[in-house]
Structure 1
Amino acid sequence: MAELSDKVIEFLSAGTRTGMLGYVAADGRPLVAPVWFVVDDGQLAFTTGRDTSKGRALARDSRVVICVDDPPPPYSFVQVQGLASVSEDPQDVLDIATRTGARYMGADRAEEFGRRNAVPGELAVRLRPTKVIAGFDISD
């Protein structure tokens, strides 16, 4: 298992950068979808619906990748490859949804978004890193 360095965690946790989740469709096509995420005990965590394309793909194949970039110069990115695990535990889903809501919508709306997104059929997903590739300040 690869570990997220302090510098990678700081980058991934900064602001409201969106992760791009790469996964494989049922017919083998590669797909990418944006996800809001938080760093949770050395893993990337997000929520998704069990019956969405992402949720169905995770049930078939837990191998995924998330790439996060910082597009203004001097350009940086982190790619986290790994294995996803899912939980339907209501408290787990609520925890991740609330923390994600706080990050992307603000602390004052965290509970609102947590409750809105922690409904039956939602999954808490954790990506356990197996490989991390990072490039910081690429154009310097």
Structure 2
Amino acid sequence: MKSLIEDQSEILCVESLSENLRRKINDFLSRPLIAKIATINADGSPHVVPVIYSWDGMNLYLIGRKRASWIENIRRDPRVAVLVDDPNPPNSRVLIQGEAMIVGTDWVEMGKKMLEKYMGKEMSQKYLEGTIDQPRWIIKIVPKKITSWIISEKDAVTRKAWHPRYYEPGTKWYEEYIKEVGSFKS
């Protein structure tokens, strides 16, 4: 039962991930899923946009247009949250909270790889031909906290779909869970 708690845990740094959870997160983040980055507007309100990404096992990389609002937000306040989710059951997802930094403008090589992952070679080449002269930034997101919800389809319809901290003490599911796995840290 340790893996259940581990698979839906909050990780405070990438180095502390178990090998099993690191593999699951790496496998999940290697898929061509659309991420949503949340930044903070100047007035303090949230700003969320869809982005494509690259994950190197430690950090998340994005490429942003020089004039994009979220880039200006990062320049002013580097705190971000990025959600990568699969809209299909069992709706697995990974939330990365951390700090974003602009690490360069030489984006073309990374951009080609990212676009091929999402669009395929032919379509990505056509896209690049029409936009390659437009300035972009490479953004590196260093995770401070990673929360994952990576479960099997089989477990998605059982009490294993929730982290134990969400169960209300005294309910049937809570009591069955405690009976099955014992106590847990909330």
Bin the TM-score by the shorter chain: 0.7 to 0.9
| Deviations, residues 70-128 of structure 1 (Å, cap 9, x unaligned) | 122222110011111113332xx112211111111113444444565554531011111
Rounded to whole Å, the distance in 2 between the matches of 1:20 and 1:26 is 19
Whether 1:123 and 2:137 are equivalent positions in the alignment is yes
Q: Report 1:36-75 matches (<5 A).
A: 36-40=52-56, 42-75=58-91
Structure 2 unmatched runs, 5+: 1-11, 158-186
Counterpart contact for 1:22–1:65, Cα < 8 Å: yes
Whether 1:13 and 2:14 are equivalent positions in the alignment is no
Q: Secondary structure at the match of 1:32?
A: strand
Could you state the TM-score of these two structures normalised by the residue count of structure 2? 0.66
| Deviations, residues 2-55 of structure 1 (Å, cap 9, x unaligned) | 2172211110112x2100101101111011110011113521111112221111
In angstroms, what is the RMSD of aligned CA positions? Answer: 2.1
> Greater relative contact order (Cα 8 A, min sep 6): structure 1 or 2?
1
Could you state the TM-score of these two structures normalised by the residue count of structure 1? 0.85
Whether 1:2 and 2:2 are equivalent positions in the alignment is no
- Structure with higher helix content: 2
Paired residue type of 2:149? G
- Structure with higher strand content: 1
* Cα distance change of structure 1 residues 41 and 75 upon mapping to structure 2, 3 Å threshold: closer
Q: How many residues align?
A: 137
Rounded to whole Å, the distance in 2 between the matches of 1:13 and 1:46 is 14
Paired residue type of 2:30? S
Structure 1 unmatched runs, 5+: none
